[in-house]
A and B are shown apart, each in its own frame.
Chain A
Amino acid sequence: MLTRLIKYELKATGRVLLPLYAVLLVFAAISKLIFAFSDNSYSVPAVISTMIYIMILIGMFVMTFVVMIQRFYKNLLSDEGYLMFTLPTMTWKHITSKLLVSTIWNIGSSLAAILSIVILAFDEIFFTGLLPKFFRLLGEFFNSFGLNSGLIILEFILAGIICMASGMLIIYASIALGHLFNQHRVLASLGAFLALSTVSQILFFCVTSLPGLDSLSEYVDSLDNLQASAFMFHWVMWFIIIFFGLLSAGYFFITNYILNKRLNLE
């Protein structure tokens, strides 16, 4: 059932976001052409096309965010929830499918943004030696960290995904908490968001100020020694992964509990 939910979630969101990606890339290409044909980068067409490109870029990220919230709120807690919550499937699968698909689109939007920048800066990247420089830097990175380098990249990706997930789950949990109220549910959700983020920050502060866990300052102290700094880096990364992983699990639990045991569709 989870794969089927994901299939429908991808369909419902892809039809909004994929055309936006296409528009962004096409416009990056158009801007690139205008730049190629204008004498200086401050000509009127160049400035206008740059502005439009930036507006589309911002619009794409805003839409990714709006679609994430709208798919959770509208599809589950408005009239469409009458269909979704009577499907014979578990509540956690609804939450998981929405979370996974939103993660995919977050990554997708970032990739589309990077690709559009590559199109715009095509000459600079491929004809001015920027690319070899980048690979040289990457080579140096692998040389100096050796076996660790693969692990470091993995930790980066994992930490990035988990922080993204916790950012989405805190919103899901806030909407679910707002749903507990009979009236003013949107306002209650905003209040719940403030409360949850405050609690999370206090937790973060408490955990990081535990004796022996004061790792960030030690990390800064150790920066002149490469081997020691690599060790501390792993420490910090795994701390972030585990802390935000647990936080995400908490938000997920709150959301699932409310939608499962305290559902009251209007």
Chain B
Amino acid sequence: MTPVLECNGLTKAFGRKKALSDVSLKIDHGQIVGLLGPNGSGKTTLIKLANALLTPSAGEIRIAGMTPGLSTKKIISYLPERNYLNDWMRVQDIIGLFSDFYEDFKPEKAYDMLKRLNISANDRLKTLSKGTKEKVQLVLVMSREAELYLLDEPIGGVDPAARDYILETIISNYNPEATVIISTHLISDIERVLDYVVFINEGRVVLSSSVEDIREQGKSVDGLFREVFRC
């Protein structure tokens, strides 16, 4: 089966600074993957390349065998690390927008999750707090039935209670064929849900392994991370 995400010699440079250099990687269907690394290691760059928001400087990236474009946008559900909401809209307007453009978007799922998180669909996005906006974006992203979920720092800005609910949603909401890639440096919070981890540092992949293998060596992901990235 074609891997859901594949990179070959993928490089991205901004001016002279290389954000990613020569990354080769294969991620298969049906797992939850942690893309782990310290700040500025290239996690966001990799995810943006997968979404065609950045153009590679060298090498290639493929999503389910395709170069990023119209057909990959249909199967990727992407949560950026920043707020992309149009401030003038109400929560229900942005849900309408997602229903208009994504065939796999399930509005009833979105309304259900909003209710659980105590967010009113009638609120203007402008009036929401930063954390609530993050929750709204996560609700939008998780209400799609995508093949690949790319979640860039999904739990960074929300309170611990919501963090638990969000993780629970991520695990329970996606179909077994789909892959979820979560980028974060808050490893202990998500360790229990991960099947596979990719460690990335200074634009290079330093480790790529299943969580099972790490546990067999008698280590935890968090412990291994501290070992690899010791300052």
Contact of A243 with B by CB under 8 A: no
Size range of the chain B interface in the assembly: 20 to 34
Instruction: Judge if B161 is at the interface, Cβ distance under 8 Å.
Output: no
The residues of A that contact B53 with a CB separation of less than 8 Å are 81-82, 85-86, 263-265
Q: Across the interface, which residues of B come within 8 angstroms of A82, CB to CB? A: 53, 78, 80, 82, 84
A264 near B102: Cβ-Cβ < 8 Å: no
In the complex, what distance in Å separates the CA atom of A264 from the CA atom of B141?
Answer: 22
Given contacts A4-B101, A83-B84, contact A264 B76 (CB under 8 A): no
| Contacts A8-B97, A89-B101, A182-B14; A79 near B52 (Cβ below 8 A) | no
**Binary flags per residue of A101-136, CB closer than 8 Å to B gives 1, else 0:** 000000000000000000000000000000000000
- Residue B55 contacts which of A1, A12, A88, A262 (CB distance < 8 angstroms)? A262
From residue 57 to 89 of chain B, which have CB atoms closer than 8 A to chain A? Answer: 70-71, 73-74, 76, 78, 80, 82-86, 88
Chain B hits for A86, CB < 8 A: 51-53, 73, 76, 78
B159, CB-defined interface residue at 8 Å: no
- Docked CA distance A15–B90 (Å): 13
A80 in contact with B101 (CB, 8 Å)? no
Known A-B contacts A89-B101, A264-B54; A80 and B86 likewise in contact (beta carbons under 8 Å): yes
Number of contacting residues on A, CB 8 A?
A: 25
Q: Which residues of chain A have C-beta atoms less than 8 A from B15's C-beta?
A: 182-183
Q: Which of A12, A81, A88, A183 contacts B101 (CB 8 A)?
A: A88
Q: Which has the most chain B C-beta neighbours within 10 Å: A1, A79, A86, A87? A: A86
Contact A89 B70 (CB under 8 A): yes
CB distance from A11 to the nearest CB of B (A): 8
Among B52, B84, B100, B102, the residue within 8 A (CB) of A263 is B52
Among A71-106, those with CB < 8 Å from B are: 75, 79-83, 85-90
Q: Is the CB of A88 within 8 A of B100?
A: no
Who on chain A is nearest to B86 by CB? A80
Does B29 sit at the interface, judged by CB under 8 A?
no
The complex places the Cα of A75 from the Cα of B88 at a distance, in Å, of 12
Query: Is A90 within 8 A of B70, CB to CB?
Result: yes
Q: Does B204 contact A (CB under 8 A)?
A: no
The answer on a CB contact under 8 Å between A79 and B73 is no
Convert A1-17 into 0s and 1s, putting 1 for each residue whose CB lies closer than 8 angstroms to a CB of B.
10010011000100100
**7 examples of A-B residue contacts, CB within 8 angstroms:** A4-B101, A79-B82, A79-B83, A83-B84, A86-B51, A262-B55, A264-B54
Please provide the 10 A-B residue pairs with the shortest distance between their CB atoms, ordered closest to farther: A82-B84, A83-B84, A88-B73, A88-B74, A82-B80, A265-B53, A87-B101, A182-B15, A4-B100, A79-B84
Binding site for B on A (CB under 8 A): 1, 4, 7-8, 12, 15, 75, 79-83, 85-90, 182-183, 261-265
